Chain A
């Protein structure tokens, strides 16, 4: 038996009833595919959002999404040849979430996220050069080669990391929002995390404080439906994550995470709530990770067919189709952007390749801001 997501108003909530490990690709069939009428409705919904936006914004959002995609494709390649080490968690399939949400805030606003953060870093304005060099463990990396894939930081653009303990960034972001309210600025803080982090105490403790003290933090749950290899169904009793906000009287929304403009609009509403009234919001953004959890994922917990079904709603394809149909960008213009983005990624790789390794003495720097030489 398959069960359909009960909430009719919640777009993009596809069938995710699969539990347990899958050993082959045959289990899924045509009836698992998105209903054509539903698909049409979602497409129409995306197009209806175009009216609000100028061409430059629409184009810039596309460019960012494509840059994230091409950047990570190149990262995967560099990982497989041993240029990038450690863990490398790719974001391919989820780009609409980071790019849509971050397009709704300004340079002065803050972003914190988890270890799957290359796209967020670039969307917040970090140079792809410094992100790629960090992946390469080079001195020119944003964290001078000390952080790696999971710890991108850039003070200049208020990108506050890259945190690698599931849910660890949620109290931190709550504290950043606390500080902006303390200093009486109108800055907002976006806090991204996967749905598996929702089971951590840090999530619940933070939401409680955020509403108790009215902190301008926007909690964006990127529900990609798997915590590593464990499906949502196998890990969470109440799977309707947006409902968890009710426990703390926080405003919440369920958002189609394959529609970049839907994410942007929901975030804009949350930003307004945060800027005007210092109020937090929880967004549950339903998305899907096309690649493994990390580069070493055996992928035996889901079927090829399931992945393909979600790829039908690849956020980049959906958005580029809408851009074309609405006459915002032509085929040749789309191609031109792709060429430019590929060149930008090639440049990032060149920069990373040419950047020197960290100097050996860097091993012992940045441990303390005020070092004390008592132990010499």
Chain B
């Protein structure tokens, strides 16, 4: 065990998986000589060589599709998007090719590929560079969507994603690359996809939070504890398939739930989770399910406006008090 950053944990996961399996290769913009735009791939070119760590031209549709094609015939690509905002150019290959190949080939061609990179808000990079796109990708059967919130989860889940035989969308939070935590150095330690993690146990209110909202939820839970409200914080970690069982079990215990996310509310993941809870645990609810989402606007540049667009601890505390009927 060592204390490392999210960035280093991801780097370890990629390195270990590439050392373990020579069919794994890494491709993306600036992943090699530049050492990664966010330094996630630092040192990999030197260690693993240019055959396996490949700097691509800025050609997202092209290299995403190249990855899917390579995966059809036995390679296991890790395709880095410098940010998931740029994956929008590649969605034809992700959605029309990767997500559907196994089905429309009658089970003949599975696509073991990881599309990874940072997503969500960053630091004042405005509308085109601050998008949380998980609900887009999670919409499609055939894709798996993973969003880690701690360095340990990041490492274990990325290793599982590389070993998985299906296309995985692995969204890292740009603001969280520097966050630190304990990470195992056991190269065989993985975290299974589709399993939620209870980040904090509690009995009064359930907070379902992912990615950037997990530390926000934990801070809110600390503050609420002082007011005598015990919060259970659940991190689904995998958005699709969603571990709804763990969420429902918690709701049956607390009878109150807030779903927090930094993405837009409309047609979002929180809306889906709220709907699942209503269908599966309506009779257990003592208050309507509350969503706390990012503002339904393109991300602005100005610092004060950007801050206002991303859910914060105070808003989450207020949301929890709302479902607990506390003034």
Residues of A within 8 A of B (CB): 110, 112, 141-147, 151, 153-155, 160-165, 168, 170-180, 182-183, 201-202, 205-206, 208-209, 212-213, 365-370, 372-376
Cβ distance A199 to chain B, nearest Cβ, rounded Å: 14
Q: Does B65 contact A174, Cβ atoms closer than 8 Å?
A: yes
A residues in contact with B297, CB < 8 Å:
none
Chain B residue with minimal CB distance to A202? Answer: B61
Does B69 lie within 8 Å of A176, measured CB to CB?
Answer: yes
25 residue pairs from A and B, CB less than 8 Å apart: A143-B105, A151-B104, A153-B106, A155-B105, A163-B97, A168-B65, A168-B97, A171-B66, A176-B69, A201-B62, A202-B92, A205-B63, A206-B66, A366-B105, A366-B107, A369-B110, A369-B112, A369-B166, A370-B166, A372-B193, A373-B241, A374-B241, A374-B242, A374-B243, A376-B245
Residues of A within 8 A of B166 (CB): 368-370
Is the pair A367, B57 in contact by a Cβ cutoff of 8 Å?
no
How far is it, in angstroms, between the C-alpha of A297 and the C-alpha of B146 when the chains are bound?
44
Main secondary structure of the interface of A (DSSP, over half): mixed
Q: Is the CB of A171 within 8 A of B244?
A: no
Which A residues are in CB contact (< 8 Å) with B67? 175
Q: Indicate whether A143 sits within 8 Å of B104 (C-beta atoms), given known contacts A171-B69, A174-B69, A205-B62.
A: yes
- Decide: A367 and B74 in contact? CB cutoff 8 A: no
B194 and A374: CB pair below 8 A?
A: yes
User: A370, B65: Cβ atoms under 8 Å?
Assistant: no
Determine the chain B residues whose CB is within 8 A of the CB of A151 once the complex forms.
104-105
Are the C-beta atoms of B69 and A205 separated by less than 8 Å? Answer: no
Residues of A contacting B194 in the complex (Cβ-Cβ under 8 angstroms):
372-375
Residue numbers in B under 8 Å from A212 (CB-CB): 57
Interchain CA distance A110-B164 in the complex, whole Å: 25
A367 and B164 form a contact (CB under 8 A):
no
**Is A368's CB under 8 angstroms from B102's CB?**
yes
**Cross-interface CB contact of B69 among A162, A175, A366, cutoff 8 Å:** A175
Question: With A154-B108, A155-B109, A160-B109 in contact, do A175 and B96 touch (Cβ < 8 Å)?
Answer: no
Q: Which residues of B contact A208 (CB under 8 A)?
A: 57, 59, 62
Query: CA A178 – CA B69 in complex, angstroms?
Result: 8
Give the chain B neighbours of A161 by CB distance below 8 A. 101, 104-105, 109
Of chain B, the residue at the smallest CB distance from A364 is B141
Given contacts A170-B65, A171-B93, A179 and B109 within 8 Å (CB-CB): no
Q: List chain B residues, Cβ under 8 A from A376.
A: 245
| Residue B195 CB within 8 A of the other chain | yes
Q: How far is the CA of A110 from the CA of B105 in the complex (A)?
A: 16
Residue in chain A with minimal CB distance to B60: A205
Decide if A182 touches B25 in the complex (CB within 8 Å). Answer: yes
| B4 touches A (CB below 8 Å) | no
Chain A: minimal CB distance from B208 (Å)? 14
Which B residues touch A144, using CB under 8 A? 106-107
Q: Is the CB of A168 within 8 A of B102?
A: no
Q: A179 and B75 in contact (CB under 8 A), knowing A172-B68, A205-B61, A368-B142? A: yes
B70 within 8 A of A: yes
B12 within 8 A of A: no
The CA-CA distance from A372 to B165 in the complex, in Å, is 12
| Top 10 A-B pairs, shortest CB-CB distance | A175-B69, A171-B65, A205-B62, A144-B106, A369-B110, A374-B194, A372-B194, A172-B69, A143-B106, A153-B105
State whether B96 touches A367 (Cβ < 8 A). no
Q: Which residue of B lies closest to A201 (CB)?
A: B61
Once A153-B109, A367-B141, A369-B165 are accepted as A-B contacts, the answer to whether A146 and B75 lie under 8 Å apart by CB is no
B226 at the binding interface (Cβ < 8 Å) = no
Contact B57 A209 (CB under 8 A): yes
Residue of A nearest to B67 (CB): A175
Whether the Cβ atoms of B69 and A173 lie closer than 8 Å is yes
A376 to B166, CA, bound (A): 19
Q: A171-B66, A375-B242 are in contact. Are A147 and B106 (CB under 8 A)?
A: yes
- Given A168-B65, A208-B62, A146 and B104 contact (CB-CB distance below 8 Å): yes
| Chain A CB within 8 A of B72 CB | yes
**Complex contacts, A160 vs chain B, CB 8 Å:** 69, 72-73, 109
Min C-beta distance of A285 to chain B, whole Å: 22
| CB-nearest residue of chain B to A163 | B97
Taking each of B70, B195, B238, which has the highest tally of chain A beta carbons within 10 Å of its own beta carbon?
A: B70
Q: Which B residues are in CB contact (< 8 Å) with A112? A: 69
Please name all residues of chain B whose beta carbon is closer than 8 Å to the beta carbon of A182 when the two chains form the complex.
Answer: 25, 51, 70, 75
- When C-beta atoms are compared, the residue in chain A nearest to B100 turns out to be A151
| B64 contacts partner chain A, Cβ-Cβ < 8 Å | yes
Kindly list chain A residues whose C-beta atoms are within 8 Å of the C-beta of B154: none
Q: Is the CB of A209 within 8 A of B105?
A: no
Chain B, Cβ-Cβ closest to A170: B65
- Tell me if A366 and B106 are in contact (CB < 8 A): yes
B123: CB under 8 A from chain A? Answer: no
List the B residue with the shortest CB-CB distance to A368.
B166
B66 touches A366 (CB 8 A): no
| Min C-beta distance of B324 to chain A, whole Å | 28
Is A179 a contact of B70 with CB atoms below 8 Å?
A: yes
Task: Kindly identify which residue among B63, B72, B108 contacts A176, using a CB–CB cutoff of 8 Å.
Answer: B72
Closest to B64 in A: A171
A367 vs B102: C-alpha distance in the bound complex, in angstroms? 6
B156 to chain A, nearest CB (A): 15
Question: Across the interface, which residues of A come within 8 angstroms of B195, CB to CB?
Answer: 374
Chain A's closest residue to B246 (CB) is: A374
> In the complex the two chains form, is A372's CB within 8 Å of B241's CB?
yes
Interface positions of B from 132 to 147, Cβ below 8 Å from A? 141-142, 144
Residue from B25, B62, B104, B144 within 8 A of A171 (CB atoms): B62
Q: Does B103 count as interface, using CB distance less than 8 angstroms? A: yes
Q: Cβ of B70 and Cβ of A143 under 8 Å apart?
A: no
Chain B residues near A179 (CB-CB < 8 A): 69-70, 72-75
A279 to chain B, nearest CB (A): 17
Q: Which residues of A contact B323 (CB under 8 A)?
A: none
